[in-house]
């Protein structure tokens, strides 16, 4: 039998969408230029330039949990078509959670991390790994990110 085989896009065809610029491409001088498949559809980047089109450089793939826990903006949970959706950046980035409980736990972990970082800013000498609350929060995040 015959059938279509899905081909990975060529390096120059691969594009990503940003909130403000629409489609962007990985710059040919970037280490990731020849990467044709990323496990996660999300990238973080350091530099964006516009020549013949908008390019990003110094980019790295980021998976869902680090994006939710360390990304900017507030985390919101909404019920959409019977599924619980975690949204960031005023709904521009959305993830479907396995359950309402998972969504709430992720949101609560993000709030705890934000508070822990605020405490660290107020008290720079505080050792986050030595205080019981800090070590529990960091331990949970490490476990979540490494087992995802």
- pLDDT tens, residue by residue, 72-127: 788 999 999 999 999 998 888 898 999 999 999 999 999 999 999 999 999 999 99
Distance CA 113, CA 134 (A): 8
Same domain assignment for residues 26 and 88: no
Candidates 6, 19, 143, 140; CA nearest to 73 is 19
Q: Confirm whether 100 is domain-assigned.
A: yes
Q: Confirm whether 67 is domain-assigned.
A: yes
Same domain assignment for residues 81 and 133: yes
DSSP states of 1-31 as a string?
-----PPPPPTTT-EEEETTTEEEEE-TTST
Distance CA 138, CA 147 (A): 14
Domain encompassing residue 112? 63-144
Number of domains in the chain: 2
Is 0.75 surpassed by the pTM of this model? yes
Residues with Cβ within 8 Å of 144's Cβ and at least 6 positions away in sequence, in order, are 65, 69, 109
């Amino acid at each position: 039998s015959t059938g279509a085989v899905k081909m990975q896009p060529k390096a120059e065809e691969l594009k990503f969408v940003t909130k403000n610029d629409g489609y962007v491409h990985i710059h040919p001088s970037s280490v990731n230029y020849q990467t044709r498949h990323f496990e996660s559809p999300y990238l973080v980047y350091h530099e964006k330039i516009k020549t013949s089109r908008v390019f990003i450089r110094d980019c790295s793939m980021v998976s869902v949990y680090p994006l939710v826990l360390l990304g900017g903006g507030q985390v919101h949970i909404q019920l959409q078509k019977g599924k619980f959706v975690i949204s960031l950046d005023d709904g521009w980035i959305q993830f479907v959670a396995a359950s309402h409980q998972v969504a709430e736990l992720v949101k609560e972990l993000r709030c705890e991390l934000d508070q822990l970082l605020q405490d660290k800013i107020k008290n720079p000498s505080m050792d986050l790994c030595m205080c019981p609350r800090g070590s529990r929060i960091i331990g949970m995040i490490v476990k979540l990110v490494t087992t995802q």
